[in-house]
Amino acid sequence: MTATNKPGSYRRTVALAFLALALLALVPVATVKLPPILDYPNHMARMYILAALPGTPDLAKFYRVVWTPLPDLAFDAVVPWLARLMPVDIAMRLSLGFMLLALAGGCMALHRAAFGRLSIWPLFAFLLLYNRILLWGFFNYLAGLAVMLWALAAWVALERKPLPWRIGIGVVLATAVYLAHLAAFGCYALAIMVLAVVPHREERFTVDKAIRRVLPALVTLLPGIVLFLLAPTSGASTHFGYGNPLRKFDLPVSIFDNYNRIFDGATFGVLLIAVIAGLIKHNISLHHRLRWSLLAVLIAFFLVPSRLLSASGIDHRLPIAIALLFVATSDWGAVSNRNRQIITAALFVLLLVRLAVIETVWLRADRTYDALRPMFDQVAPGATIAVAAPASEVQAGGVPLYHFPTLAIIRRNAFVDTIFADPLQQPVQLTGAAHSLWANQVTGDLWQAAANGALPSLAGYDDLIIVDPPKGLDTSKLGGTVLFAAPRMVVVHLSTPAPFNIEQPPAIEYPQ
């Protein structure tokens, strides 16, 4: 059935369904003040710094902003501007909500460009929005995937348009994908290069035709490649690291992994079996050209290392890209109307159950965060804060607190030594003196030292925040006054901190 003979009521149904699902998907984001996402507080603190500098003297002692063409700027390039118009927490949640809708909308746009018609099928992308990568807080990557989907949709839609228009728009969109996130740019580059090689259905493959299609695609990627070579990221030491190869078969579960491993794993297993059965029976079909792009990204997932350059967890990120591309490039036109209605109803119920679980956990987490916020009132403005946290806290899921102390940056214009300020990844960097403080601390070792009651010298720090303090912690041995104590957070004002020196900042040499 083509777009021309589909009734207008069907198109309205798809549009209304998208709107209804969008409203449902945004409920968790709209009903909490701080989503329980591991890196979220740290990202929000960085957005605050970008918005507040250089006009905040306390912050200027610790942080500086250096803009370079980093391939990791999706939120950094947008949220600070919003934060100048509204509180940073609202700017962050608006951006998070828009990113989720852009992911689902990108699947709709790519499907429309590929098949020439609207369909209910790509709305199943809403099932994928709350995934493990989101709970880790890899926002720039997910935003990059959203831009990638829209850019790929535009590339397909403009395929038969005049070449100058196609290249001009392609350059802008490909560069936007690069600036959003390097991994998304890699997926996009792989997708359009493979797409260029595969002939149209009515064509026969020839090398000269393939070259004529590959060259425009390559031209659109060149600005991103040049920017990467100019960015400090390209100068990072190359660290190839492969994890357990069997994890490649476990990582795809992350597209549904939220808070209940049994339920989420069963969801993945049942849907995987249903999709495989649908493909075997030809009830589900893949776009005749984009399926090769999807296959290329799937092969890349099995080949890429876990660590490369300054990034880790590279292969962890790809399953959600593959899942979104599958939804966007597949169609269920061969399914009968009756079965389609049953499948739609079942997946809608599944979505409601998953959102209910997420909403329950997020509301409980928000109450925990509310109970801890008064601790920031005990910290002096412009304070320097060391964080001691167990290594086990660096996990997504539940009520993560590892980065919660970085909210002191927003509340008190403080220095917190866990702030993301790697010049290979972020435009926020540390001043020389602040870097000296940061370089001397390792939060996990500091937590173990606190547990043993023998803190190392914390010269230059005003306060110590202990996340998930060990049982039986003797605060009297920490050399300070307890300002705030709760089961999962203790704030200690150190007795004799050395003055923070900003006069002669040493040269900054960040480890690779």
Query: Does any domain span residue 383?
Result: yes
The residue assigned the tokens 């509180």 is 87
Taking all residues of the chain, what is their mean pLDDT, rounded to a whole number? 90
Tokens of 265: 């794993």
Query: Does any domain span residue 396?
Result: yes
- Residue 219 sits in the same domain as residue 281: yes
- Residue 183 sits in the same domain as residue 296: yes
The type of residue at 284 is I
Share of the chain above pLDDT 90, in %: 71
- Residue 322 sits in the same domain as residue 463: no
Highest mean pLDDT among 142-151, 393-402, 477-486: 142-151
Query: Does any domain span residue 354?
Result: no
- Residue 242 sits in the same domain as residue 384: no
pLDDT value of residue 505? 38
Tell me how far apart the alpha carbons of residues 431 and 61 are, in angstroms, rounded to a whole number.
7
- Residue 14 sits in the same domain as residue 117: yes
pLDDT in tens, 488-499: 999 999 886 555
- Residue 309 sits in the same domain as residue 396: no
pLDDT in tens, 263-272: 999 999 999 9
pLDDT value of residue 444? 65
DSSP state letter for 35: -
Q: Which residues span the domain enclosing 271?
A: 8-31+67-335
Which of 286, 319, 335 is the endpoint of a domain? Answer: 335
pLDDT value of residue 110? 98
Tell me what the mean pLDDT of segment 114-121 comes to: 91
Number of domains in the chain: 2
Local confidence band at 443 (pLDDT 50, 70, 90 cut-offs): low
pLDDT in tens, 258-300: 999 899 999 999 999 999 999 999 999 999 999 999 999 999 9
Q: Could you tell me whether strands 415-416 and 428-430 are parallel, antiparallel, or unpaired per DSSP bridges? A: unpaired
pLDDT value of residue 502? 47
pLDDT in tens, 36-48: 999 999 999 999 9
Could you give the count of Cα atoms lying within 13 Å of 135 in the half-sphere of its Cβ?
22
- Residue 201 sits in the same domain as residue 264: yes
- Residue 298 sits in the same domain as residue 415: no
Provide CB contacts within 8 A for 52, sequence distance 6+.
59, 413
- Closest of 367, 300, 377, 295 to residue 330, by C-alpha: 295
Query: Does any domain span residue 168?
Result: yes
Local confidence band at 79 (pLDDT 50, 70, 90 cut-offs): very high
Tell me how far apart the alpha carbons of residues 149 and 140 are, in angstroms, rounded to a whole number.
14
pLDDT value of residue 137? 96
Local confidence band at 508 (pLDDT 50, 70, 90 cut-offs): very low
Query: Does any domain span residue 215?
Result: yes
| Predicted confidence (pLDDT) at residue 506 exceeds the cutoff of 70 | no
Query: Does any domain span residue 366?
Result: no
| Predicted confidence (pLDDT) at residue 35 exceeds the cutoff of 60 | yes
Tokens of 189: 């580059």
Gap between the terminal Cα atoms of the chain? 55
pLDDT value of residue 183? 95
Tell me what the mean pLDDT of segment 2-25 comes to: 82
Query: Does any domain span residue 443?
Result: yes
- Closest of 458, 452, 454 to residue 498, by C-alpha: 458
Query: Does any domain span residue 262?
Result: yes
| Predicted confidence (pLDDT) at residue 173 exceeds the cutoff of 80 | yes
- Residue 98 sits in the same domain as residue 235: yes
> Which whole-number Å values give the CA distances from 335 to 15, 125, 147, 278, 297, in the listed order?
21, 18, 30, 9, 27
506 compared with 367, residue with greater pLDDT? 367
- Residue 118 sits in the same domain as residue 201: yes
- Residue 404 sits in the same domain as residue 486: yes
| Predicted confidence (pLDDT) at residue 3 exceeds the cutoff of 60 | no
Local confidence band at 454 (pLDDT 50, 70, 90 cut-offs): confident
Tell me what the mean pLDDT of segment 152-176 comes to: 95
pLDDT value of residue 198? 93
- Residue 281 sits in the same domain as residue 387: no
Tell me how far apart the alpha carbons of residues 166 and 497 are, in angstroms, rounded to a whole number.
60
pLDDT in tens, 94-110: 999 999 999 999 999 99
